[in-house]
């Protein structure tokens, strides 16, 4: 496979993987209801995406950097709301 094709696959995976957190984050922002969400699951996911972000910088992978930057913002928002609103 060509490097360009691999990069396109990476970007597509990054977009789809990140978009999946958008509805949950928007619902949390709108309702401030986080009771059904696990704090520990979201915190561990946040730590995971931070580590993937650092890895992406280390290997110079734009799809990994972009996807995990967006995921940090989205999941970080959920964690902050979970702390603030329970």
What is the structure's pLDDT at 10? Answer: 86
CA–CA separation, 58 vs 27, rounded Å? 33
Q: Which of 84, 83, 49, 55 is nearest to 69 (CA)?
A: 49
Q: Would you state the pLDDT for residue 29?
A: 97
Q: What is the pLDDT along the chain (86 residues), one digit of tens a residue?
A: 899 999 899 889 888 988 999 999 999 999 999 999 999 999 999 999 999 999 999 999 988 999 999 999 999 999 999 999 98
Alpha carbon of residue 14 to chain centroid = 9
pLDDT at residue 21 in the model? 93
Domain boundary assignment for the chain: 3-85
CATH 1.20.1280.290 fits 3-85, yes or no: yes
What's the residue count for the chain? Answer: 86
State the pTM of this model. Answer: 0.88
Q: What is the pLDDT of residue 63?
A: 86
**Gap between the Cα atoms of 34 and 30, Å rounded:** 11
């Amino acid at each position: 496979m060509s490097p360009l094709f691999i990069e396109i696959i990476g970007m597509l995976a990054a977009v789809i993987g990140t978009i999946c957190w958008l509805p949950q984050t928007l619902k949390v922002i709108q309702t401030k209801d986080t009771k059904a969400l696990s704090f520990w699951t979201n915190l561990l996911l946040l730590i995971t995406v931070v580590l993937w972000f650092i890895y992406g910088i280390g290997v110079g992978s734009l799809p990994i950097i972009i996807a995990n930057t967006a995921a940090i913002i989205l999941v970080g928002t959920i964690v902050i709301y979970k702390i603030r609103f329970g």
